[in-house]
Each structure stands twice: as C-alpha cells, then as structure tokens.
Amino acid sequence: MDTHKRNLMSQSILMVTIFMIFINHSSSTFHGSSGAEQLDTVVEGAEDHLAYPSTSDWIEELNDGMEDDEWQLVQKKGNQFVVNDQPFYVNGFNTYWLMVFAADKSTRGKVTDTFKQAFSVGLTVCRTWAFNDGQWRALQKSPSVYDEEVFKAKISNHFGLDFVISEARKYKIRLILSLTNNWDAYGGKSQYVKWGKAAGLNLTSDDDFFSHPTLKSYYKAHTVLNRVNTLTNITYKDDPTVFAWELMNEPRCTSDPSGDKLQDWIQEMAVYVKSLDPKHLVEIGLEGFYGPSAPGRVQFNPNTYAQQVGTDFIRNHQVLGVDFASVHIYADSWISQSISDLHLQFTKSWMEAHIEDAEKYLGMPIVFSEFGVSSKDPGYNSSFRDTLLITVYKTILNSTKKGGSGGGSLLWQLFPEGTDYMDDGYAIILSKSPSTSNIIALQSTRLALFNSRCSWKSHWGCRKKNPLETFPLYYDDL
C-alpha cells in the first residue's frame, strides 16, 4: 500500500474513532439541539475525509450489522426496506454483464474488480442479469436447457452466476437479479417467441410472450431460484445476498395500450415467483410510465408515447406479490438527446411524483433502479453528469428525511477499468472520475449513517422518531 493510500485510510479510521467516541459519550444530549449540532459537526468533518478509495473503511465501521454470521435477508416494513429490523436505504449500481464475464476465466477478474470498486465507495446493491437466452455464452440454449459447459470455467466447475453471487457476498453487496429482457439484448422475449415458432406455435408478435400459455411456461421453467450455488452451497432462494427478483427488464406491451395483457402477466408471474420463493422481495422492472388508470398522472410522463406502451405504473404495482416499485430515469432518451436543464427539472418532478404515488397509493418503497446520462449526448460534460447524480441523490434524501418511500437509487452503470470497449456512453469508471466518485461516496456515507442509527437504540429511540429529524445528514450540501 502506497503512502497516499495509507494516509487516506488512517484519516478515515481516525474519523470513525472520533465518531464512535462521540456517540458513546453523548447520549444525554442527542435529543437536544446542542447534540444535533455536535453530530452535524462530526458528520461534516467526516465528509472532508471521504475521498475515494478510503470510503469503505468508514462505511464498514458503520455497517456493523453486516457480519457474515448476521447477513440477513432484506425485508420491507411499510414503505421502507429493513435488515434485521433496521432501515436499509440503498445506494447502488447496475452492471448487467457480470454473469457472462464470470463464465470465462479470462474475464472473470472484471467481476471481482467491479465489486471491489463499488465497495470502495460504499455501494450496497447491484442490479444485474440472471438471464442470457440463446445468444453468445447463452445460459439457456433452449427452453429449460442450460449450457453448463459454457458456464463452467476451465479450471473450476461452477455456474457463472454462482461466482457473481459468491463475489458479491464477499464485498457485502446485495443483488437484484432480473429474469428476462423486454429487449433483444441477451435474448429476452423475442428469443422466447423464436423458440415458440420453432416449436410450431402460431405467433404473430413478440408481445405474444405475455399471453401465450406455452411461452409463459417457458418463462416459468427458467427459474434459477432453486439452484444450489456450487461455491457457497446455499440455494439462491435462501441466500440473503439476493436483494430481490426482478420479473423483467423494462417490460412493454405496445400491442395492447390498455395495459390489460401486461397486467395479467405481471399478476401471474409475481405470484408464481413468490410461490417458489416467499422469502425474497419481488419487483417488476418497470420504467415508471403512467397509463390509462391514472389520467391525472400522465402529465408527468416524458412524452405522449409513454402512455401507449402498455404499462401503467400505479395499477401494475398494486398486484399481489410485488413488494416494491421500480422506476427508470432517462431524460436524454425520452425528452431530448441534447443536454439541457430541462433534463434536471424532469428528473426531479418524475422522482417526486413516483415517491408520492408509492406513499399515497402503494404503501411500499420505491427504487429508481436505472438513471444516467450518456457521454455521447450533444452538449455532454462530466459536470452535467455530476449535477444529475446530485439531483437524484438529493431527491432521495429529501424523502429519507421525512421517513418517506424513497428507498434508494441505482446508477447506470458502473464499469471497471479495461471494459471501455463495452461502454454505451453511460459507463462510470470510478478511477477515471474522481468528482463523480466522491459524490457517490458521500451519498453512501449519509445513507450508511442513517441505516446504522438503530445500532444505538439506547441513545435515540429510532422506532419512535422520523429518522432525520433527530439525525441531520447535511443533505443540502451536495
């Protein structure tokens, strides 16, 4: 370890020590204004030392409930996530290709690199694909036929996804695992339709995926939930490393703008996944567009087309078996590719509308599970990307401050060094983006501080008070 890194680590550990000493000797003042002011000062001072890559030292001290023998399932209580009855607000990321890279020893190290870098800035949840249908390094060669040879390394004998889950656990990162795709990449619903046609089915649209009994049976047969991990000997459906199962990445059913066809599919599959695994959380994977059932909310859609894609945010999330809401944010795809302040205004109003819906109509947490901006957009610069992150993070914290439904966000997307050739324009490589890394780390720290507050039950009765009324986190200083 070089001197610079050693100094950064020492500073971080010093601040943890100061913070813990302060906690242990301040119980008499925590509920008074002087105690809050002192705590603000400690948090503010700590933030000065939270430079990448030392953030993990600070956050690991706070996450004292995350030891291996206490690694427990994420649950929900009302409109909040909890672990071991403590709040669990999420700062996370997407890296969709982990399973495919884990399948080959020449690329497997990038999986470890990704988790290592995410851990260094305190990211706690990763969303990734648990599907690859009929394509390169396919997981499913045909319905229910898995290519174990493709997913076995030459020097070891394990499934690619086994390695992803095992490595995630090592770095205390939980996984949202998506079970199929609306789009053609990695197979998705179009591949299921191709398989159906090859079997002689009379299919006319990719949207038949949502209604044809045989195609629905193909989907149900692709259940990695019952697999026993060859590296941990834990069945996926029993592993706390899994945060949630996602039914589909960005489902749309444009052939039925009423939304009835997709609604029926969501209801059927949410109940089915829950029947296989009642322990884990389930979410749909929606982008968040408002549909016919909420005419008063369509004003928040980014364009008129969004109302015609067969999704219906509130209605879709009211089905049995869905535990939390998911929303994506892509102003540069939905409004205008050219960068402008309108993107930021839309992002804020889009988030606030959905948080309000999650509280008022759904009574569940909400995760903004994809958001980002492409470096290929006209007018793009890294400063705008930082401003977008700050906008998303502030909006989450404004909800957290009130004990609201804003459960967290997952940036799209985190890449390690050496994977630039796969960059779709949205990749964030932490080592090349120090300002962005510090913003991410700061959000992680604030959420970790809040999530850990119940560790000190004797000091501030966390179950009786709104969290940030007694524990300000300088959320306005981003």
Just list the catalytic residues: 250, 370
Nearest to 91 by CA among 462, 471, 439, 454: 439
Containing H/E element for 408? strand 406-412
H or E segment to which residue 407 belongs: strand 406-412
State the Rg of the chain over Cα.
Answer: 22
Q: What angle do CA 297, 300, 302 make, to 5 degrees?
A: 135
Tell me if 411 sits within 8 A of 94, measured CB to CB: yes
CA distance 95 to 176: 11
Cis before 53 (ω within 30): yes
Q: Which of 178, 263, 182 is nearest to 224 (CA)?
A: 178
Sort strands 125-129 and 366-371 into parallel, antiparallel or unpaired.
unpaired
Residues near 10 by Cβ (< 8 Å), separated by ≥ 6?
none
The Cα–Cα gap between 112 and 18 comes to 32
Q: CB neighbours of 28 closer than 8 A, spacing ≥ 6?
A: 35
- Cα distance between residue 178 and residue 412, in whole Å: 15
Amino acid (1-letter code) at residue 69: D
